[in-house]
């Protein structure tokens, strides 16, 4: 466990990304977070979860430079694990609050979208699904979650344009639920998570799954074809050239 | 027919609940309303329906004290009948207007949600899906209808919190279509129902079902598992304790 | 090709209806537009498409007087071709902008609904799904697209009432994306189409289909039964009488 840290306070487990300055998502981070979630789901002391990070980024999204050396097979395996992670997060039986401390981009937003609530800091931090700007497609499962969150219209507008949103703009389309200053973000996340931790656990899990399982089922059903398509686009000459130009500040 | 009353005026059939002060839903009321709807559907003189009640409650929801003496088998049968009732109401071939004269809670809101339009009195009357506050889950079919009505986001917010809404608040999330003073409620409901009664009956029924049948199909498909889960939660020790504390004013 | 005209400018293909004053949709127009779309999809010089017309009508909808002489078999074939056309438009792999130059009614709105963006002129021009006002039903595929566009609530309100909307009103429910003066409509449509033409073509097509293919699949699945029902209602005595009264200005 080198890229995530977990603390538990008042029945709330907080998972923080700790991978460099931008928390780029690589396979190790995905496997770690998957294991963290499994532990938190099983831990009877934990009644709610917060997902967050420190610094200017919640997450930059995929660690593209690292993935450029991956074979198609390896990248397919990573995508299978990543999509499985966001699906588990979407169907996580306990309440999950995303405390978006900074830029929340692409794969980072995919994880945030899976949560029950999103709080975000205002100002320079941007939220974006910029895949189309570098010739990448998206995944079927993520689009199912995005439509669940903001509806088809705003989902279409976001993914067609790849535009960047401030937290305030994201609030108007309800992509985030609340804008919090950096000073109050974690307190507010803790307050909300604590309140949700008081709910009857079994009733909450049951209601959450009644609402989300049908979407989860479609996600699982559509994902294998979607991953194949994602890989085909990712390894096409035109997209590959654009990916090679992406740098990560570290 | 002891818990409902029907009057017909200008091709509009009005069904009123008449079960004590709070119109708590028990099995007899469900069976009666089911039969009333069947008669109104078959009556060529009736072109639209209003669902309402008198007093401070449209409906309190399930008659919990009465159900506490039910065996699991009996309660399962009741739920099967109740979910079948709201599905028939959701797919009722004629226009249905809910005139919400007062508090509209839990099972009462489930019936209101199935209608084509909802008018509600302002002020102290509350609308609420409070199941989570006493450890109960919901039903899959109702959640399908709620998402149809207000979308996934507001549906999730309502059912996670169990919060109470005034009619004015319910209007902002479009859970009700219109707020009417108690003095004008029935006139306005009659006016709207009359206008809908003028629509070409066959075209209306066809269009309504084109829009709602896919949801109706999912409701029917998901309901049996959902009822099983509902019963499991309802009879669990923790929830049972909370149910036993609920009193009904009569 | 007598009822449509195509011009290409800066990688944007513009298809204009040219059928009399109101661009009533008959079978020849449907077959022509289907062929035009096929050509534009295959043309590597074309990266985006605009759909528009001249005069006071984008389209009046079906050429009802012409269809009154059709046998049930012929009308069924027309509906099969028409629904296939709007489905192809909905799933068209390149961006499609509808520049609504005037009244956009019934079948005309169905085509507009299938596009990625809708711009419309303000003022007297009306947008309407008036089917219920003359006893006609709608099609399942169109309702799927309408719900995709505006959500279930506004879809239900529109199709239950058959009401007419100005562009400004249509904007508030997001049935159109933008209101443009007649003088700026085509420039603005060209500007937007050009911008969308710059997007990575493959990524755009992939993302568009990830979002729309599930709806397209339901459209195809539900359409045959829906067409049968549409024909049954259309040929019923009551509706036939109302259809016979409809005149088209030419």
On the question of pLDDT at C43 being above 80, the answer is yes
pLDDT per residue over C144-162, tens digit each?
A: 999 999 999 999 999 999 9
pLDDT band at C250 (very low <50, low <70, confident <90, very high): low
Q: Do residue B137 and residue A214 have CB atoms under 8 angstroms apart?
A: no
Distance CA C214, CA B58 (A): 39
- Measure CA C44 to chain center: 24
Percent with pLDDT over 70 in chain A: 100
Res. B215 pLDDT band, cuts 50 70 90: very high
Give me the residue from C95, C174, C202 closest to A233, CB to CB: C202
pLDDT of residue B250: 66
Q: Which residues of B touch A95 (CB under 8 A)?
A: 160
C205 assigned to some structural domain: no
Q: Is C172 on the interface with B (CB under 8 A)?
A: no
The total number of residues written for chain B in this structure = 250
Q: From the list A148, A208, A210, which residue is nearest B152 (CB)?
A: A148
Using pLDDT thresholds of 50, 70 and 90, give the confidence band for residue B1: confident
From CA B104, how far away is CA B164, in angstroms rounded?
10
At A81-112, the pLDDT tens digits run 999 999 999 999 999 999 999 999 999 999 99
The sign one gets for the Cα dihedral A136, A141, A144, A149 is negative
The predicted complex's ipTM stands at: 0.96
Residues spanned by the domain of C48: 4-185
Distance from CA of A248 to the nearest CA of B (A): 34
A154: CB partners within 8 A, 6+ apart: A173, A174, A175
The confidence band for B249, taking pLDDT boundaries of 50, 70 and 90, is: confident
Indicate yes or no: CB of B151 within 8 angstroms of CB of C156.
no
- Domain for residue A230, yes or no? no
Q: What is the largest CA-CA distance in chain A?
A: 52
Is B214 in Cβ contact with C132 (below 8 Å)?
no
Q: Would you call C80 helix, strand, or coil by DSSP? A: helix
- How sure is the predictor about A250, in pLDDT bands with cuts at 50, 70 and 90? low
B-chain residues near A214 (CB < 8 A): 218, 222
* pLDDT at site A123: 87
For C18: left if phi > 0, alpha if psi spans -120 to 50, otherwise beta; the answer is beta
Asked if the model's pLDDT at residue C248 lies above 90, the reply is: no
Nearest C-alpha in B relative to C218: B214
A159 vs C: CB within 8 A = yes
Task: Provide the 10 A C-beta neighbour count for residue C36.
Answer: 18
Q: Is residue A242 part of a domain?
A: no
* Over residues C35-51, mean pLDDT: 98
Torsion of CA C221, C227, C232, C238, to 10 degrees: 120
| pLDDT given for residue A16 in this prediction | 98
Both tokens of residue B27?
A: 């099995």
Which positions ≥6 away from A71 have C-beta within 8 Å?
Answer: none
pLDDT band at B161 (very low <50, low <70, confident <90, very high): very high
Give A1's pLDDT tier (boundaries 50, 70, 90).
confident
What number of helices (H) and strands (E) belong to chain B?
A: 9, 10
Question: For A129-172, how does the pLDDT look when each residue is reduced to its tens digit (9 = 90+)?
Answer: 999 999 999 999 999 999 999 999 999 999 999 999 999 999 99
Q: Which residue is associated with the tokens 């029917």?
A: B220
Q: Is C174 exposed, middle or buried (0-12, 13-18, 19+ CB in 10 A)?
A: middle
- What pLDDT is attached to residue B197? 98
Rg of chain C, C-alpha, whole Å: 17
C42 — contact with chain A (CB < 8 Å)? Answer: no
A109, A138 contact by CB (below 8 A): no
The CATH number linked to C108 is: 3.90.226.10
Bridge partners of B52, per DSSP, are B16
Q: Which pLDDT does position C45 carry in this prediction?
A: 97
User: Is C249 part of any domain?
Assistant: no
Question: Residue A53 carries which DSSP code?
Answer: E
The residue written with tokens 């989860």 in the block is A216
Residues in contact with B238: Cβ distance below 8 Å, sequence separation at least 6, in sequence order? A200, A202, B135
| Residues whose CB falls within 8 Å of the CB of residue B227, separated by 6 or more in sequence, listed in order | B76, B79, B80, B83, B139
pLDDT band at A248 (very low <50, low <70, confident <90, very high): confident
| Tokens, residue C215 | 């709806």
Q: Looking at the predicted structure, is the pLDDT value of residue C4 above 90?
A: yes
Q: Is residue B165 part of a domain?
A: yes
pLDDT (0 to 100) of residue A172: 96
User: Which of B110-144 are b and which e, b meaning 16 or more Cβ less than 10 Å from the residue's Cβ?
Assistant: bbbbbbbbbbbbeeebbbbbbbbbbbbbbbbbbbb
**Is residue A215 domain-resident?**
no
Identify whether B133 is part of a domain.
yes
Note the pLDDT tens digit of each residue in C181-237.
999 999 999 999 999 999 999 999 999 999 999 999 999 999 999 999 999 999 998
pTM for the whole thing?
0.97
The H or E element containing residue B95 is: none
Look at residue B4 in the predicted model and tell me its pLDDT: 97
Residue B31 CA to residue B41 CA, distance in Å, equals: 15
Residues C243, B230: Cα–Cα separation, whole Å: 50
Over residues B128-139, the mean pLDDT reads 95
| Number of domains chain A contains | 1
Beta bridge partners of C127: C104, C165
Query: Number of residue pairs across A and B with CB atoms under 8 Å?
Result: 61
- A250 occurs within a structural domain: no
Cβ neighbours of B95 in C, within 8 Å = 160
């Amino acid at each position: 466990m080198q890229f995530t840290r977990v603390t538990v306070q008042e029945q709330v487990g907080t998972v923080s990304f700790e991978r460099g300055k931008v928390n780029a998502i690589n396979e190790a981070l995905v496997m770690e977070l998957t294991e963290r979630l499994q532990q938190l789901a099983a831990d009877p002391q934990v009644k709610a979860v917060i997902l967050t990070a420190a610094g200017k980024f919640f997450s930059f999204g995929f660690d593209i430079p690292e993935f450029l050396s991956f074979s198609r097979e390896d990248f397919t395996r990573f995508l299978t694990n990543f999509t499985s992670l966001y699906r588990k997060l979407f169907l996580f039986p306990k309440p999950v609050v995303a405390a978006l401390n900074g830029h929340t981009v692409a794969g980072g937003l995919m994880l945030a979208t899976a949560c029950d609530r999103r709080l975000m800091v205002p100002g320079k931090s941007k939220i974006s699904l910029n895949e189309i700007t570098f010739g990448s497609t998206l995944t079927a499962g993520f689009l199912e979650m995005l439509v669940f969150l903001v509806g088809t219209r705003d989902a279409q507008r976001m993914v067609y344009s790849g535009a960047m949103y401030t937290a305030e703009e994201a609030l108007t389309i309800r992509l985030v639920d609340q804008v919090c200053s950096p000073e109050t973000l974690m307190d507010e996340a803790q307050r909300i998570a604590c309140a949700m931790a008081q709910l009857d656990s079994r009733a909450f899990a049951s209601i959450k799954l009644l609402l989300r399982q049908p979407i989860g089922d479609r996600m699982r059903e559509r994902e294998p074809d979607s991953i194949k398509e994602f890989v085909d686009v990712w390894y096409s000459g035109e997209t590959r050239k654009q990916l090679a130009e992406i740098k990560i500040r570290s």
